[in-house]
Structure 1
């Protein structure tokens, strides 16, 4: 009992240090740059038709919106943002929606959604935005190639991702804001591809969003990887009929984040509770290899193989004991 109490105090101290670090670094750094302006996007209705013609029209409209945002970024003098947007607007890219305002929102399809039998929805974590979108696209492409014909990847950047080092990343505030949008996206994909197998692949802070959207989800599988916790103490708290998986790379620093939820007076509840890969959580644990926090979808990795197998509805690589 004494050992358990001591461990709890140590973990609370570590979490307190993490909170202090998250507060001190942004405050002591330089002022945030001014937001990059972007025009309001074309209003597109919910996804109701996944025919090639209907999707081609959505993709064309979104490409126009991306190019308009790129021109605004150039006029603003943000050449990095403009270059990123030029890449996103390239021929062959397939965005179902795009909004360049307030940090940016987008939904991109890699693969052919009209014929997809297996669909992975990628939900990214902290520190992801329009300026770093290339890495997310790289990961989605690697996964789609691993899935092969009949597999499609939907890249959902549907929320204002918190900075990796910030107080925001320690709370569920952004996740609560984002969850309805993710649920709507999955519902839309299910409506237009009712026979397809849909898997939510939730990385890092993205796993908190997926957990918030889990009750009654239309997805067949929830996959948490590189997760700081998901805001519930075990699988039953997710209130979902989806199969729940969890994995963590051997070199992922997230393993050292205390898995607690602590109320900080006058601030918020920080931390996300139980570790999804812990035996007591109740998720099925897959082999995520030895990679780091950003390595789960690297080509040739064990984690990519496991994730693709889960999306396929097959058993992933087993964890070595």
Structure 2
């Protein structure tokens, strides 16, 4: 049971978010990322074949869809979105899926998925979208380099990420909508890559999505880092056979978020409960270094090295449980 001071702190956090939201929406209404038009993508169907030829065909179709979305963004006058999409459509980029509508959804492969023995599915948190995609991809590239030729990183931006400061970022509505899509992707990867080790890397709000998708997942490991909580009280509540890891950088502001769940009248259940690095949650805790909330995939960092070790099936340096 959360004590009263923590409940008061969480209510203040929510009220601040609501005030920010109320001010920001009127100011930025016409520029909302979800308002940028894009054509419907080509229907590709589920991933069934990871041969090099089949993947290249799929990547080519998605590249054409990205270019079409870029032309629509340019015609709409959104030069930032158009520039981001041009970069995403560059030769050599590998998208399994892309849909530019409603803010955008995408699944990109970094590395060679065909024949990969270690696959990390990167699930981002709040404040990530097509307009800010470059930073997410840079982290994926850094991770894939750590993994080497036998490793691939699948960057899953399969949901409308909430703004970092917004009511949606402190409730699990977006996570509930996103979890079935993530689960479908992981199930397909498990089916088409039966010999590969699969790991879910869940950053920030992404850990709430992973918790929703965890039950019965074929993933070998689930890693929660920079997490505000998962909505679950402990690891057993996730109902997963995957090995569950948790980590938080020493400079991550998420440590100051109250780890409680409070029912707010006329709003929703706010907050995500137990801190995943707390002993009572029951995860194995790894050393995530001293970086901030956006530094977990920074080249040369302890957090990146340990995430790569977990993906590879090795023990991370500095694990405490």
Q: Tell me whether the two structures share a fold, i.e. TM-score over 0.5.
A: yes
Q: By how many angstroms is 1:319 displaced?
A: 5.0
* Residues 291-306 of structure 1 aligned to structure 2 (within 5 Å): 291-306=291-306
Relative distance call for 1:57 and 1:138 in structure 2 (3 A) is same
TM-score by length of 2: 0.97
Q: Does residue 1:127 correspond to 2:122, yes or no?
A: no
* 2:5 aligned partner: 10
Q: 2-side partners of 1:63 and 1:69: how far apart?
A: 10
Give the SS at the match of 2:121. Answer: strand
Q: 1-side partners of 2:252 and 2:122: how far apart?
A: 19
Give the SS at the match of 2:209. Answer: helix
* Residues 55-134 of structure 1 aligned to structure 2 (within 5 Å): 55-134=55-134
Q: Does residue 1:21 correspond to 2:16, yes or no?
A: yes
* Residues 174-253 of structure 1 aligned to structure 2 (within 5 Å): 174-253=174-253
Q: By how many angstroms is 1:26 displaced?
A: 1.6
Relative distance call for 1:33 and 1:266 in structure 2 (3 A) is same
Q: By how many angstroms is 1:320 displaced?
A: 8.1
TM-score by length of 1: 0.97
Q: 1-side partners of 2:244 and 2:72: how far apart?
A: 42
Give the SS at the match of 1:83. Answer: helix
Q: 2-side partners of 1:235 and 1:128: how far apart?
A: 26
Q: 2-side partners of 1:203 and 1:317: how far apart?
A: 19
Give the SS at the match of 1:32. Answer: helix
Q: By how many angstroms is 1:229 displaced?
A: 0.3
Q: By how many angstroms is 1:128 displaced?
A: 0.3
Q: 2-side partners of 1:117 and 1:261: how far apart?
A: 39
Q: 2-side partners of 1:43 and 1:320: how far apart?
A: 46
* 1:268 aligned partner: 268
Q: 1-side partners of 2:193 and 2:127: how far apart?
A: 31
Contact 2:285 2:320 in 1 (8 A): no
Q: By how many angstroms is 1:76 displaced?
A: 0.4
Q: 2-side partners of 1:313 and 1:104: how far apart?
A: 33
Q: By how many angstroms is 1:274 displaced?
A: 0.2
Deviation track 1:87-132 (CA, whole Å, cap 9, x = no partner) reads 0000000000100000000000000001200000000000000000
Q: 2-side partners of 1:301 and 1:33: how far apart?
A: 39
Q: By how many angstroms is 1:40 displaced?
A: 0.3
* Residues 47-58 of structure 1 aligned to structure 2 (within 5 Å): 47-58=47-58
Unaligned runs of 5+ in 2: none
Contact 2:62 2:95 in 1 (8 A): yes
Q: 1-side partners of 2:192 and 2:210: how far apart?
A: 21
Q: 2-side partners of 1:116 and 1:236: how far apart?
A: 30
Contact 2:288 2:303 in 1 (8 A): yes
Q: 2-side partners of 1:143 and 1:278: how far apart?
A: 26
Q: 1-side partners of 2:319 and 2:294: how far apart?
A: 19
Give the alignment's Cα RMSD to 1 decimal.
1.2
Q: Which 4+ residue blocks in structure 1 deviate beyond 4 angstroms?
A: none
Q: 2-side partners of 1:215 and 1:319: how far apart?
A: 24
Unaligned runs of 5+ in 1: none
Q: 2-side partners of 1:170 and 1:32: how far apart?
A: 21
Q: 1-side partners of 2:263 and 2:204: how far apart?
A: 21
Q: 2-side partners of 1:191 and 1:140: how far apart?
A: 23
